[in-house]
């Protein structure tokens, strides 16, 4: 069993991105990322602080637009339009979830697709489905980079993606399909989850349910990627996989924390610098 170390790889990628950022600086371009943070959700604030720190390390200028929970949808849209029109900002990130009175779809659709570093705009989603170059959601993109780093080729593998969100599950499915894998995608209405995961060479799970994937649900030698983040009663961070019992059966597995999480932030930086190169 080999651990897929996302923390080490993300640190390496950040060094490479700093070099790219420095090269852009020599050409008069400083990659810029604008983050919109609505409300006081503790997890969202933590994520944004981590992203801000990572931006500094990679030579990316970042600005955070903090807004109260009661902010109107129109004010958020006005801010996005302002950022879209700012030639010094290359990426726009709206931290989700948004308050219930805000239409998340309208907010995402308002972002300039060329600055959509989260890869959520329908334009970029469509290009991903078609197998064309696009901005890809950071978490599934991070999974693909992690697999590539460890020379794990999805081509020909039977893969099972557990979770069908627009942010993780669906783009993950499309990336694997584009890479030549045969993909099952499971969700809350799947009748027999074990029947799908048990036959998979590659299991990728991200639903936010502790111990969802147990040892009897994976076959010997499976590759298991755990995207889930849950907090135990003791305050420990764990994933969706019963790591202690599943890991001995695996050929490769990601830890939580230290697996996919750091890769997500590294891919956000990579997408931002990719967007900045459009200014050349």
Binding residues for NADP(+): 163-165, 188, 229
Half-sphere exposure of 152 (CA within 13 A, CB side): 25
What are phi and psi for residue 44, nearest 5 degrees? -60, -40
User: What residue numbers does the annotated binding site cover?
Assistant: 163-165, 188, 229
Measured N-to-C along each axis, helices 122-129 and 169-178 cross at an angle, to the nearest 10 degrees, of: 30
Structure tokens at 275: 């967007």
| CA gap 253, 192 in Å, rounded | 23
Q: How far apart are CA 164 and CA 276, in angstroms?
A: 30
Q: Pick from 84, 202, 56, 94: which is nearest to 140 by CA?
A: 202
Residues tagged active-site: 51, 95, 118
Q: Exposure string (b/e) for 71-102, b if CB count within 10 Å is 16 or more?
A: bebeebbebbeebeeeeebbbbbbbeebbeeb
């Amino acid at each position: 069993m080999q651990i897929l170390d996302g923390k080490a790889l993300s640190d390496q990628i950040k060094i490479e991105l700093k070099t790219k950022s420095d090269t852009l600086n020599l050409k008069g371009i400083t990659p810029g990322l604008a983050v919109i943070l609505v409300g006081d959700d503790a997890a969202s604030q933590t994520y944004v602080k981590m992203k801000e720190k990572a931006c500094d390390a990679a030579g990316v200028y970042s600005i955070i637009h903090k807004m109260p929970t009661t902010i109107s949808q129109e004010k958020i849209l006005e801010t996005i339009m302002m950022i879209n029109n700012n030639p010094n900002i290359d990426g726009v990130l709206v931290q989700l979830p948004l308050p219930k009175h805000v239409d998340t779809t309208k907010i995402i659709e308002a972002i300039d697709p060329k600055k959509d570093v989260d890869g959520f705009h329908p334009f970029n989603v469509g290009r991903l489905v078609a197998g064309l170059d696009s901005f890809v959601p950071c978490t599934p993109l991070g999974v693909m980079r992690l697999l590539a780093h460890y020379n794990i080729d999805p081509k020909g593998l039977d893969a099972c993606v557990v979770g069908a969100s627009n942010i993780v599950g669906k783009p993950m499915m499309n990336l694997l399909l584009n890479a030549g894998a045969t993909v099952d995608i499971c969700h809350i209405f799947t009748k027999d989850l074990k029947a799908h995961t048990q036959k998979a060479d590659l299991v990728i799970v991200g639903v936010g349910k502790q111990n969802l994937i147990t040892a009897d649900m994976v076959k010997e030698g499976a590759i298991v990627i755990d995207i889930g983040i849950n907090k135990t009663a003791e305050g420990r961070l764990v994933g969706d996989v019963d790591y202690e019992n599943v890991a001995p059966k695996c050929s490769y597995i990601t830890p939580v924390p230290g697996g996919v999480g750091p890769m997500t932030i590294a891919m956000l930086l990579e997408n931002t610098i990719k967007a900045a190169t459009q200014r050349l």
